[in-house]
Amino acid sequence: NKGWMVIKIDLEKAYDRLNWSFILDTLTYIGLPQNFVDLVWACISTPLSHVLWNGEALQEFHPSQGIRQGDPLSPYFYVLCMERLFHIIEVVVSQKLWKPISLSKQGLSLSHLTFVDDLILFSKASLDQVEVIQSCLELFCKSLGQKVSLEKTRIFFSKNVDLEFFAGILNYRIMQLLFYYLGLPVRVSARSERVWQPILEKMKAKLNNWRQKNLSVGERICLIKSTLSFIPLFFLSFFRLPKKVYHAIQKLRRRFL
């Protein structure tokens, strides 16, 4: 079987489930001095939390796991812990148990891509590979306190794969349509109008909200230039805007004026 598969992993409440012992072990593992590790332990273990109930703060308590979202150190702790998973993957790949995909005959082999908690895994499409990947994830999640969300995790296959065979044995949802990674569409040409549909819908929502206000022509022009025109900029930094989408955007702007 020459097919390949891509698994887009979603971890449930990634920050809230982090095991403190695993964080400290990771910091020691990478060689940080013990006084720094002790300082980190003080930072993550001493804060108190409250639960707001009907606008009133209940009795404070000490959390037993997880790191605070919004804390400037939290993303660094999380990324360092995720590096342990990547080390597991690299070991399994070196043992030739995990078979990554190749971008070309002499090109780079690709087993995973990640950005903070956005994780994508690549491998040859076979039942053995699914079992290897699941065992790696189970080992990592058990150590770190993480849990893979079966409802949000997606798996994608190349065209030469028997989907009916995998559909009966996998817990993940099999998708063959458009999906997004880091806000960008995957598996669909950027020339396709449906790729740009979320952009158009977002612009329409903005315009519908503005129409409910008594705005002058000058204020409308200002909103179009300062807000509406910036909505598609992220996509435009990667893809060329199709003519039909361009005309649709211009039509929305004219109608608002």
Give residue-wise pLDDT tens across range 102-130: 877 777 888 998 876 678 899 998 888 88
pLDDT, residue 167, reads 67
Q: Are 89 and 35 contained in the same domain?
A: yes
Q: Which domain holds residue 218?
A: 193-256
Whether residue 178 contacts residue 187, with contact meaning beta carbons closer than 8 Å, is answered with yes
Give the global pTM: 0.70
pLDDT, residue 1, reads 55
pLDDT band at residue 43 under the 50/70/90 scheme? confident
Q: Are 142 and 224 contained in the same domain?
A: no
Asked if residue 190 has pLDDT above 60, the reply is yes
Q: Are 197 and 100 contained in the same domain?
A: no
Q: Are 132 and 224 contained in the same domain?
A: no
Q: Are 101 and 172 contained in the same domain?
A: yes
Give residue-wise pLDDT tens across range 61-71: 777 777 877 77
Distances (CA, A) of 34 to 31, 73, 79, 132: 9, 18, 20, 35
Whether residue 210 contacts residue 220, with contact meaning beta carbons closer than 8 Å, is answered with yes
- What is the spatial distance between Cα 123 and Cα 17, in angstroms, rounded to a whole number? 27
Q: Mark out the alpha helices in the chain (DSSP H runs).
A: 20-29, 34-45, 74-94, 127-144, 163-167, 193-211, 217-226, 233-236, 243-256
Q: Are 84 and 166 contained in the same domain?
A: yes
Q: Are 221 and 128 contained in the same domain?
A: no
Domain count, the chain: 2
pLDDT, residue 198, reads 85
Q: Which two structure tokens, joined as six digits, stand for 188?
A: 């669909």
Count Cβ atoms below 10 Å from residue 103 Cβ, excluding itself.
Answer: 11
